[in-house]
Amino acid sequence: MSTEELLVERDGGVLTLTLNRPERLNAISGPMLGALAAELARANADPAVRAVVLTGAGRGFCSGLDLRARAGDDGGGDGEANAPRLFDLRDSPPMALHRMDKPVVCALNGPAAGYGMDLALGCDIRIASDRAKLGAVFVRRGVLPESGGVWYLPRLVGWAKAAEIAFMGDVLDAQRSLELGLVNRVVPHDELMAEAAAAAARIAANAPYAVQATKRMMRLAQDETFETAVDHSYLHLGAMFRSEDFREGMAAFLERRDPEFRGR
């Protein structure tokens, strides 16, 4: 469901989520956080959604958390609102995004800094406009990559490169991001959304259970042994062999036509 700060649009099996605070370069507000987490969870549970595109309105992807709002909260006052409590991140956007079985394509339309960079790195595929930038500026603000960056960055570029980027607070342009493997490709700005939509449509055309199981196994394999990963994969494979989509895929191959998968 679209809100003022998060636009939601579905075209076939592709759901597009657009961060919509262009006057603030889509700085993340509290309401936007809640809406984004809810839409990601809803998309993951909706059989009609096969792929998600995440982008920003205007000239930026996301400039990070809304630090003006946080700077205005000095923690003063008393009562239960200020009592110490444990973090509960179960329904937060980083966790919702990380747990997604539906593939997420990031259409990186401009600068992604701080939280915005973590959000981009949490997507599966990143297609960048030639105007895009990734800003690992956390240490310049006296904070750390709290929303997944400390987990994603070393896995994407290796420890040494991640350390250089994070400890120095680097801002990487689109070409440097491509060289480091942080984005899949860079396209002219005016072609970005068409490229992202085409990538998502190609994903959505494949057997949805097979795509989602592949993503889940890739995610879980980050913390599994090889033997465990193969064993878990075979458990999914048995269900696939019994599916209508498997029969359709084999028939389409033999008949030399494009398959029409129904997610069954």
Q: Which residue has the higher pLDDT, 74 or 249?
A: 249
Q: Packing angle between helix 226-241 and helix 244-255, nearest 10 degrees?
A: 80
Q: What is the pLDDT of residues 201-228, one digit of tens each?
A: 999 999 999 999 999 999 999 889 999 9
| Burial call 199-237: b when 16+ CB within 10 Å, e when fewer | bbbebbbbbbbbbbbbbbbeeeeeeeeeeebeebbeeee
Mean pLDDT within 184-188: 98
Beta pairing partners, 108: 128
Q: What is the pLDDT of residues 104-139, one digit of tens each?
A: 999 999 999 999 999 999 999 999 999 999 999 988
Q: What is the CA radius of gyration of the chain?
A: 20
Answer whether residue 85 shows pLDDT above 70. no
Helix/strand/coil for 18: strand
At 1, the amino acid letter reads: M
Domain range annotation of the chain? 6-204, 208-255
pTM for the full model? 0.88
Q: How far is CA 25 from CA 3, 63, 65, 194, in A?
A: 17, 6, 11, 21
Instruction: Give the dihedral sign, CA 33/35/38/44.
Output: negative
pLDDT given for residue 76 in this prediction: 46
pLDDT given for residue 218 in this prediction: 93
When the pLDDT of each residue in the chain is averaged and rounded to a whole number, the result is 90
**Which CATH code, of 3.40.50.300, 4.10.80.400, 3.30.450.20, 3.90.226.10, is assigned to 6-204?**
3.90.226.10
In degrees rounded to 5, what are phi and psi of residue 104? Answer: -120, 125
Answer whether residue 78 shows pLDDT above 60. no
